[in-house]
Structure 1
């Protein structure tokens, strides 16, 4: 979802700033908002996010910060401050017309993902949305494996912008398509089977996948 379908950067910085302003108000933070640090670790499970951003704080503070952060994210989504990446709708139509089933596998929280799906009516194309919260291991490879088993998928691809997406594809015998978008890192994308700079490039890839619903 983040950095592949949804332009998280449009609401990320303001939501993170609001969260750390809240922490400052509670006298729990004095430094600058660690926006760059968050950008570096985009794609990791949420517990790792807050352990990294708040390394010297107790878990209860991290949990409260995460809850506040997600409230702000969802508010901005509902207010229309975010956006899908260019050509998402066009590509989704293309995939569905070619008999492909579409799933979202994300490290995002369930309520956050549901807000995006609802606001942009993604359920018109997406068969099911899966959150890392649904599996105990907090590993995206295991999350994708859940989808593969549930829907008996024999051929397909994982399309994403971070190493966790690429590894999830390879651990499940799927094609890894790396998106060179906002949060992508070159050394991670180098490990993908294919790198794309625009979702429109999926046009040529779809035929090779020979997807079946």
Structure 2
């Protein structure tokens, strides 16, 4: 019996794949113009690691580059992402607002816990008016460890949550639930990997399935 649900953002609520390629291409085009990158844009590599903190993203995509160049790439990418979100080029997954209505109707509090940065998350929440349902949105930036399990722990403490479910598409979401003694629900969406999903308590293919697998009290 739960009284709160903690959602991941990328690949769970927000279809990041719809806006991923353009901001990434724009970022690396700028880097190429500065002679700071000479290869093609590593889109597929980014898709493979989607869901990790952005600091890890740039270490993975640009392992031989300086911290300064990685930081610059991150700033450019974030700026381009926000622009594309505000232009309406992204999308929520089907039934997000419907399941939010359902959860609120059951007296369940809704939270977002993401490895995304605050400015990026706020752009999504503001554009789609998710704060009509979501009690609070949390970024990995808000904790020192960059560990999603610690971020979820922070949410539980801050809002005095006793029992909850964590909904996400990657292993970091599943481990965050397990580390905090919560129910884990894996989403078989765009960036999900079967070996990671196998470790969840339950796997769903559509957010509406939460209506049948979550018990409230």
Q: How does 1:22-171 map to 2 (within 5 A)?
A: 22-171=30-179
Aligned: 1:2 with 2:2: no
Secondary structure at the counterpart of residue 181 of structure 2: coil
TM-score normalised by length of structure 2: 0.95
Secondary structure at the counterpart of residue 99 of structure 1: coil
Aligned: 1:191 with 2:184: no
Distance in 2 (CA, whole Å) between partners of 1:101 and 1:205 is: 16
Higher relative contact order, structure no. (Cα contacts within 8 Å, ≥ 6 residues apart): 2
**CA RMSD of the aligned region, Å?**
0.7
| Structure 1: unaligned runs, 5 residues or longer | none
| Structure 2: unaligned runs, 5 residues or longer | 1-8
What is the CA-CA distance between 1:153 and the residue it aligns to? 1.1
Distance in 2 (CA, whole Å) between partners of 1:161 and 1:22 is: 31
Tell me how many residue pairs correspond in the alignment: 209
Instruction: Describe the superposition over 1:180-201 as per-residue Cα deviations: whole angstroms up to 9, x where unpaired.
Output: 0000001000000000000010
What is the CA-CA distance between 1:44 and the residue it aligns to? 1.1
Q: Which runs of 4+ in 1 moved over 2 A?
A: none
